[in-house]
């Protein structure tokens, strides 16, 4: 299952602490969680910082665990988090014309 995630970091959190946490989670193998492969992971330099992640997961549980690993490590890290199944455009367009 391919998922697309839009997220905004909580502007009340220290961006350096978030970056440190991200390094710890990725280097320790805690993120991405088992059953998930990150396809793309982008962040903007905006304030508040926001970004998108595209991931391929074995299940809905795997996708949910990817969120939980961050929120358990730093409660309140996100001010907005939207996750949805996604299709590549070339697969979605023919469905619209069916």
CATH assignment of the domain containing 64:
3.30.70.60
* Count of domains forming the chain: 1
Tens-digit pLDDT profile for residues 15-62: 999 999 999 999 999 999 999 999 999 999 998 999 999 999 999 899
pTM here is 0.88
Q: What domain range is 93 assigned to?
A: 2-97
> SS3 sequence, the chain?
CEEEEEEEECCCCCHHHHHHHHHHHHHCCCCCCCCEEEEEEEECCCCCCEEEEEEEECCHHHHHHHHHHHHHHCCCCEEEEEEEECCCHHHHHHHHHC
């Amino acid at each position: 299952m391919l998922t697309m995630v839009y997220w905004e970091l909580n502007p009340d959190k220290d961006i350096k602490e978030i970056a440190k946490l991200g390094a710890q989670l990725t280097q320790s193998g805690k993120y991405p969680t088992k059953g998930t492969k990150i396809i793309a992971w982008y962040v903007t330099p905006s304030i508040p910082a926001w970004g998108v992640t595209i991931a391929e997961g074995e299940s809905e549980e795997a996708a949910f665990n990817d969120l939980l690993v961050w929120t358990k490590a730093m409660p309140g890290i996100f001010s907005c988090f939207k996750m949805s199944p996604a299709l590549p455009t070339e697969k979605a367009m023919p469905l619209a014309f069916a």
